[in-house]
A and B are shown apart, each in its own frame.
Chain A
Amino acid sequence: MSDTSLTPRTGTIAPNPPRRALALHRELQSVWANDRGLWGQMTAVSHTTLGLRFMATAIIFFAIGGILSMLIRAQLASHQGAFLDTELYNQIFTMHGSIMMFLFAIPMLEGLAIWLLPKMLGTRDMAFPRLTALGYWCYLFGGLIMLTALLFGVAPRDGWFMYTPLSSAAYSPGINADVWLLGVTFVEISAIAAAVEITVTILRQRAPGMKLTQMPLFAWYMLGTSAMMLVGFPPLIAGSVLLEIERAFDWPFFDPARGGDPLLWQHLFWLFGHPEVYIIFLPAAGVMSMMIPVLCRTTILGYGAIVAAILGLVFLSFGLWVHHMFTVGIPHMALAFFSAASVLVAVPTAVQVFAWIGTMWKGSPQLHLPMYHILGFFLTFVMGGLTGVMLAIVPFNWQAHDTAFVTAHLHYVLIGGFVFPMMAAATYWMPLITGRRRVKGLGEAAFWVILIGFHGTFFIMHLTGLMGMPRRIDVYPDNPEWVWLNLTSSIFSFVLTIGFAMFVLDLILQATLGKRESRNPWRAPTFDWAMPIPSPNYNFASLPTARHLDRDADEVILPLARGEGILPGAPNGRRELLVTRVGDAQPDHVGVLPGNTALPLALSASIGVFVLLMLASLYALAGIALVPVAVLIWVWVRGMAPGDNLASVAVTPGLRLPVHHHARASLGQSGLVAFLVANGTLFASLLFGLAFVSVVTPGPEAPISTFTPRTTAIALGLVTLAVGLASACVAWSGRHGAAMLALLLNLGALVVLVWMAATQLDDPTRHARDALRAVMAGYVGLHLLVAAGMAAFALDQFRRGEITVDVTGAWPALRLWQRYTSVTTLVTIGVLTAQAVMS
């Protein structure tokens, strides 16, 4: 640690002497390249490989979702319905929405961030490469489960927002709804994983000296996105878990006859669902903010205002979920608040749009292909934004809600605000992906066909909705006045599909037939272009610093490739990158990343087995299937144990930095903090649910509890004492005895908790309040179990001599987790006690 305090200011970091670029390349390739062949694809953890694979898989799901939309449009082209029966039609529109949201848009933006961020920030990989791979496999397997269900005719059929009670066991028998709940939750492991590592990568892996205020705007946008994902996804996961428990074990969270509330599902879903819209939009706006200045030969106008707008959007987007619920009967005063918030969110969006237009005024826009799609974005997104403001107006919403008007609006926003920017980004970054130049002509034609097809399909759909056509109907025999509208939409939707096919064909032609492109073809000033094309897995032969910022990437490529940056090559034969401090990005230590491994594949496959057993209602077996999951997680964490070589690393001639095993604030520790933010939101969602059914829900009161106050008080007192002592133990010091005590205390607390739950808690199938209490007890129990597991892991590390005076091992992680567990345990006990006392 002592050398870091001697860190010179970044500006004075002495450059490394130049070396032969080819030798450096070979040295890095031998360490960073994927293994050969198909097996090499299974074990790859590189952000370049996985980011591209995320995006390619998302495009395939986009195509599948698109085919489903073609079936919908064919069905609606005439008022009698063409060929689908209602059951199948319901599955198709549910899957269209679910695929486009969960299997296209989110993985696409994750893939973009995973692929692009390390390049833009000047580092070699994401913070947790194995986690990237785990996320990909969970995404793929979850998506395949949902697709398989569609092939067998048992796909979800209750609409992509799965409103209860329609999706509850009584009205949706069979496994259809379970496929959605389990499949989507499986996929969302990848969202949480991506959010954690995007946050950590942006905060801890920026090029030395790149202050937060100097970051490329895309990094700011992704920081906002990942923060929203950490807080936005847990309510959905909480809701899905509760609904799955209701379906599987009859715990009545959403059943109005037993004190549950269908509106609780809507609140949890839209607490995710609205931020979700901005989670999708922000990365798209991020690439716009990168491309527009470059394509206009200028710099971005209003950097500070845009950053403020991003922060405003992140904040506001959590205050307007109720605008999806304007028709559920909430009092007008409350609606007015959410209406105002929904209108207000247009302000930061307007700031960005006007900043981009101002940038175009300031520079001289050039009509390259990405600019076509940027213009397509402007036209489409502005119109979608304006209909969005209309829908935020409560009385108009009462008419337009759940009609084709909303369908039109959301496609304007999502295709305008996400797909057009992604197409612009694809055409812009293709040379970096393939190293090739595009074939002229086809791309422009694809753009025009898409633009005409899109507006032809969806513009008129606003009118269809205002003329009374609701969403999600398969026939309209009594409404001949809707036929010409729907027929027009259907015809143009096929034009739109042809356009998308041409676009993909253009990408394929570029990747296979294009001529060699020169480096940095757009003459961009950012690090993502300061590397050879196509980009190698290691990105930079030596890492750039703040010295290299704001210079044409052309001037930076060669010095970096010759090793004149910092941490050149891979002299220790392992994957190394620089970890910097959050605020000023001063060098902190050298992070050593894991290499290629099949562990992520194995772990996600074992989670997949659990999901399939749950789907098959084999709950006992599913419980047993968690054992291999736990074992693989142990093996995973073992993989982070310190190796033989813990010597400090010379990053430049004058500067040696410790490896991360000696660091107080490692990447792993930052990642755990980010994960606990998400976990805390999940916990808060459960508390919200308990408060909601206790206070808001009009249904029957909970029956009198049957617990024995004296026994319960003693048990809760024991648990409180145990978690308090365990926290004190791990805070005390990193000692063998402390780990042993923490293990015993957590296990003891767990045993008391389980005993209390078995003997004192009310039957959870009796009333929603009792069910939520049982879930909270389960949440605490799970955390005690994990804390015990971590204490056991630390004990094992002591035994192996892996925790010493200056090697921390798993100790800081245990300490953090134990504190979190103790706090949530105490909050849970406090809330349940308060409820018992007051009732």
Chain B
Amino acid sequence: MRGGVLIAPVALIGCSGPLSTLQPGGATATEIAWLWWVMLAGAVALTMMMVVLIAMAFGAPRDTGARVWTHGMGLAFSLVVLSATLGAGLWVGERILPRDDGAVEVRARAFQWGWRFTHTDSDGNPVETDGLLHIPAGQPVDVLITSEDVIHSFWVPRLAGKLDAIPGRTNRARISADAPGTYAGLCAEFCGLGHARMRFDVQAHDTWPPALPDESEAP
């Protein structure tokens, strides 16, 4: 499990938690977490460089050429760093996009203030659940997201980035969980009085479709 590589050091410094993007539980979230750690390292190095450059300015005046600063550092250096960052971002972005590969599809409908999810059972019938989304573990899942009223946002930080639930539109998000278990999710777009409590869970199953006890099936 690739996620495990991160979890060990991360837990030590207190970055773990049920909603932590730094404790990824699936391929997409893991890729983004790596992107973050690399960018953080770069940002720390750049900040140190700037601090040193400014500290060195305090001293006797130096005979320094303008082009070194404006063209060399301002243009060339920043373009190199930024291009590398942009390239990495686009590469990761392309890898985690939903693609037409027959992934399992589930539906999420947001409303003020809650979530109603739909997956397909073994007979091909839709099963509606309130506040709990069932997905298979170990494979990509596409969530078709929409909203019944205002704009909400579907976010399971340990599985993937967020995607907005917009009335009148359906958005497709790809998530994946490496292991069976429960992953916490929430509404990330401010949606009024009940926003803070608009939570849900994602249950990843080894067997798919899952055999659910009757009481969890909402009419």
A402 partner, pick from B68, B168, B188, beta carbons under 8 A: B188
Which residues of the other chain, A, contact B186 by a CB distance below 8 angstroms?
468, 470
CA–CA, A479 to B196, complex, Å?
12
**Contact flag A361-B39 (CB < 8 Å), given A332-B94, A346-B82, A355-B69:** no
| A171→B192 contact, CB < 8 A | yes
Contact flags B10-46 to A (C-beta < 8 A → 1, else 0): 0000111111111000000101100110010001001
A327 touches B193 (CB 8 A): no
A261–B62 CB distance below 8 A: no
A451-489: contact bitstring with B at CB < 8 Å (1 yes, 0 no)? 000000000000100111111111110110110000000
A390 close to chain B: CB less than 8 A: yes
Residues of A within 8 A of B56 (CB): 361
Q: Are A468 and B17 in contact (CB under 8 A)?
A: yes
When distances are taken between beta carbons in the complex, the residues of chain B under 8 Å from A392 are: 86, 89
| Shortest Cβ gap from A360 to chain B (Å) | 4
| A629 CB, min distance to chain B CBs, angstroms | 35
Residue of B18, B22, B35, B190 near A393 (CB, 8 A) is B35
Given contacts A166-B150, A360-B57, A387-B43, contact A302 B93 (CB under 8 A): no
Chain A residues in 8 Å Cβ range of B77: 350
Chain A residue with the shortest CB-CB distance to B63: A362
Is A403 part of the contact surface with B, judged by Cβ < 8 Å?
Answer: yes
A37, chain B: closest CB distance, angstroms = 48
Distance in Å: Cβ of A789 to nearest Cβ of chain B: 41
Structural contact, B54 and A402, CB atoms closer than 8 A: no
Is A301's CB under 8 angstroms from B66's CB?
yes
Q: Which of A323-339 contact B (CB under 8 A)?
A: 327-329, 332, 335-336, 339
In contact, B86 and A355 (Cβ under 8 angstroms) = no
Contact at A478–B199, with CB atoms within 8 Å? Answer: yes
Q: Is the interface of A mostly helix, strand, loop or mixed?
A: helix
Q: A347-B79, A347-B82 are in contact. Are A361 and B43 (CB under 8 A)?
A: no
Which listed segment binds A: B119-127, B131-139, B155-163? B155-163
Query: Is the Cβ of A358 less than 8 Å from the Cβ of B78?
Result: no
Contacts of B193 in A (CB 8 A): 86-87, 90
Alpha-carbon gap, A482 to B20, bound state (A): 10
Expressed in whole angstroms, the minimum distance between the Cβ of A467 and any Cβ of chain B is: 5
Of residues A87, A302, A400, which shows the largest number of chain B Cβ atoms within 10 Å of its Cβ?
A302
Residues of A within 8 A of B93 (CB): 332, 335-336, 394-395
Interface residue A383 (Cβ < 8 Å from any Cβ of B): yes
Interface residues of A in 472-509 (CB under 8 A from B): 472-476, 478-479, 481-482
Chain B residues, Cβ within 8 Å of A87: 193
B19 touches A479 (CB 8 A): yes
A702 to chain B, nearest CB (A): 15
Report the Cα distance A400→B77, complex, angstroms. 26
B164 within 8 A of A: yes
> What residues of A have a CB within 8 angstroms of the CB of B90 in the complex?
336, 339, 394
Residue pair B151, A163 in contact (C-beta under 8 Å)? yes
Say yes or no: A402-B153 contact (C-beta < 8 A), given A171-B192, A347-B82, A467-B22. Answer: yes
Tell whether A648 is near chain B: CB-to-CB under 8 Å: no
Q: How far is the CA of A329 from the CA of B154 in the complex (A)?
A: 12
Q: Are B168's CB and A354's CB within 8 A?
A: no
B67 to chain A, nearest CB (A): 8
Given contacts A354-B73, A402-B162, contact A467 B92 (CB under 8 A): no
> Taking the complex as formed, is A263 at the interface, i.e. its CB lies under 8 A from any CB of chain B?
yes
Confirm or deny: B9 has a beta carbon within 8 angstroms of a beta carbon on chain A.
no
Does A257 contact B168, Cβ atoms closer than 8 Å? Answer: yes
Distance of A166 Cα from B192 Cα, bound (Å): 7
The residues of A that contact B89 with a CB separation of less than 8 Å are 339, 392-396
Contact A256 B196 (CB under 8 A): no
Q: Is B181 an interface residue (CB 8 A)?
A: no
Task: Give the distance in Å from the alpha carbon of A336 to the alpha carbon of B93 in the complex.
Answer: 9
- Give Cα A408–Cα B153 distance, bound, in whole angstroms: 20
Q: Indicate if B51 sits at the interface (CB-CB under 8 A).
A: yes
Query: Judging by beta carbons under 8 Å apart, are A389 and B20 in contact?
Result: no
Chain B proximity mask over A381-408: 1 for CB below 8 Å, otherwise 0: 0110011011011111111111100000
B1 within 8 A of A: no
Let me know if A479 and B18 touch, CB within 8 A.
yes
A818 within 8 A of B: no
> Is B19 a contact of A469 with CB atoms below 8 Å?
yes
Q: Given A357-B54, A467-B20, A393 and B85 touching (CB < 8 A)?
A: yes
User: Which of B61, B75, B161 has a CB less than 8 Å from the CB of A398?
Assistant: B161
Q: Given A390-B39, A399-B161, check contact A171 B57 (CB 8 Å).
A: no
- Check if A327 sits within 8 Å of B163, measured CB to CB: yes
Q: How far is the CA of A364 from the CA of B62 in the complex (A)?
A: 9
Question: Is A546 part of the binding interface, using a Cβ–Cβ cutoff of 8 Å?
Answer: no
State whether the Cβ of B182 lies closer than 8 Å to any Cβ in chain A.
no
Q: Known: A166-B190, A347-B79. Is A698-B168 also a contact (CB below 8 A)?
A: yes
Residues on A with C-beta less than 8 A from B150 are 163, 165-166, 171
| Cross-chain pairs A/B with CB under 8 angstroms, 14 sampled | A297-B61, A301-B70, A302-B70, A351-B78, A354-B74, A387-B43, A398-B161, A399-B162, A402-B162, A468-B18, A468-B20, A468-B21, A481-B20, A482-B17
User: Besides A263-B166, A355-B70, A467-B17, 12 other CB < 8 A contacts?
Assistant: A339-B90, A343-B82, A347-B74, A347-B79, A351-B78, A362-B62, A364-B61, A378-B50, A386-B43, A399-B29, A468-B186, A481-B20
- Chain B residues with a Cβ under 8 A of chain A: 14-22, 29, 31-32, 35-36, 39, 43, 46-47, 50-51, 53-54, 56-64, 66-71, 73-75, 77-79, 82, 85-86, 88-90, 92-94, 96-97, 112, 149-151, 153, 155, 157, 160-164, 166-169, 171-172, 184, 186-193, 195-197, 199
